[in-house]
Amino acid sequence: MIRWSGLLVLACVFATRASAQDSVQAPTPSRTVSLTLAEALQQARANSPMYRQALNDAGPAKWGVRNAYGSLLPSLTASTDFGYTGSGESNFGGGLVLPTSAFVTSGYSLGIQWQLSGRSLQAPSQQRALQRATDEDIGAAGVGLTAEISTQYLTTLQAAAQVAVARQQVRRNQDFLALAQARHRVGQATLLDVRQAEVIKGTSDVALLRAVQTENEAKLDLLRRMGVESPVSIDQIALTDSFPVTPPDFQLDSLLALSERQNPELRSLRARGHAARLDVRAAKTDFLPTLSLRAGWSGFTQQFTNQDLLLGQTLTDAQAQAADCEFNNAVRTGLSLGGQTGNCFSAAGLVNGGGALLDPVAQQIRNQNSVFPFSYTGQPFGANLTVSLPIFTGFSRSLRLSQARAQEDDAEEEVRARRLQVRTDVQSRYLGLETFYRAIGVQGASRDAARDQLRLAQDRYRLGAGTALEVADAQNAVQQAEGDYVNAVYDYHKAIAALEAAVGRSLR
């Protein structure tokens, strides 16, 4: 598991929880760990599993480009081999069967191969387009991560602000309970008012506990999306950024034009569409000739393991040669033809009498046999240049061209569909932004009216003109209005984050 180091570079400070505008601040622990939105985004880019998966695609895309260029260069291969063949007998026909020695072999080959086709010429451009698409996919993942973390950060602040609203309601209900008890002691209120105030106080206590639980869950969800674990107790983490409400000054035409240029998903699809067009060109080049070049060098060794058998066979051959020489000499002598060979045994490499090979001859045979494993006998250099043009391939080339054109059309339609989706998202979120901003004003007015209503109900109750039920209803109305105002504020900020995600860049 990935953990924060150095408490996520978060300084321990006396932090104040962020809350909705004009709402009462909630007390925080005396010592907390602060987390800004910038720090959350930094940690998310370093640790988010989903984003790191997107980053992993950059390496293969880069090597794809290198491989495409490398395919234009010749390939080199080098190999070596070793072998062994056991002893046995060889049948030479005519009833001649001779024993054979076991022997070991080795060899090497060094080859160069180069092939050039239209498809290989188009490959670098295709891979560069795919690399750009991958880069845009990573950019889209980054934009999505920013929107996700920003939205969850706002959700956590929203939950913290709701905790402040709940705490304020607890204090109001505590004051109301104290007032009901005081009036009951002096005989101006009944025990029913006290019990009702106690019930309302207990309900607000439970609501506060639930609000705190919701805030803690929001923090945990934020840390999960960041890809980290909490270095401290979750209630000691305080989100410190604030987001003031300012009137939206965005222009729809500018946002639409910006999304055309900046939306990473749209840019990625365009890059893939360009790669699809290049694939059509590559498919057309299948109808052109292909040039291939092959060249190589090789060598081998073969060494008999039983040198005595090899020497014996050589001795037999030499004795047969000497016998032929002696016979020829006898014939020439008898017929007085002249031209006899001097010493037939010496000429055949035998000692006098022909019982053994001469030592130099035997040593030469041994030296010639001792070649394993690296005393190679080289083979002649070979090279081959081929120009091939398939005449009929069962319509496979036409099929590939048709498939490439279909993919090109699909890519263009996908770009068009995504462009329409981006424009729809930008326009809808722009309209939603205006709606959420107006809702803040409406909810603010409702909150102020609810506070006035509560103040009037409390005054009437103190004077004995009102009932505890009126105060309870007014307090519930205030809590509802303050909670709705908090939601309106953060819905507005979330709408800005959603608009930024649709455009593809920050707007603040």
pLDDT in tens, 441-467: 999 999 999 999 999 998 888 888 888
pLDDT band of 91, cuts 50, 70, 90? low
Which residue bears the tokens 């059509």? Answer: 280
Q: Where are the domains of the chain?
A: 7-68+120-289+394-503, 304-378
Rounded percentage of the chain residues whose pLDDT exceeds 70: 90
pLDDT band of 259, cuts 50, 70, 90? very high
Average pLDDT over residues 128-155: 93
Supply the pLDDT for residue 6. Answer: 42
Supply the pLDDT for residue 92. Answer: 59
Alpha carbons 386 and 120: distance in angstroms, whole number = 17
Strand pairing report for 32-35 and 12-13: antiparallel
Rounded percentage of the chain residues whose pLDDT exceeds 90: 58
Alpha carbons 434 and 115: distance in angstroms, whole number = 62
Alpha carbons 139 and 146: distance in angstroms, whole number = 10
Cβ neighbours around 93 below 10 Å, total: 6
Q: For residues 356 and 333, which has the higher predicted lDDT (pLDDT)? A: 356
Average pLDDT over residues 278-283: 92
CATH classification (class only), 7-68+120-289+394-503:
mainly alpha
Supply the pLDDT for residue 340. Answer: 62
Q: Tell me the pTM.
A: 0.77
Average pLDDT over residues 317-330: 83
Per the CB < 8 A criterion, the answer to whether 310 and 136 are in contact is no
Question: What DSSP string describes 322-367?
Answer: HHHHHHHHHHHHHTT-----S-HHHHTTB-TTSSSB-HHHHHHHHH
Which residue bears the tokens 């070991």? Answer: 104
Digit-coded pLDDT (tens) for 218-235? 999 999 999 999 888 998
Alpha carbons 455 and 475: distance in angstroms, whole number = 9
Alpha carbons 164 and 14: distance in angstroms, whole number = 18
Please check the confidence at residue 490 and state whether its pLDDT lies above 70: yes
- DSSP H or E stretch at residue 463: helix 396-463
Alpha carbons 283 and 121: distance in angstroms, whole number = 12
pLDDT band of 101, cuts 50, 70, 90? confident
Give me the phi and psi of 40, to 5 degrees please: -65, -45
Q: What is the largest CA-CA distance in the chain?
A: 170
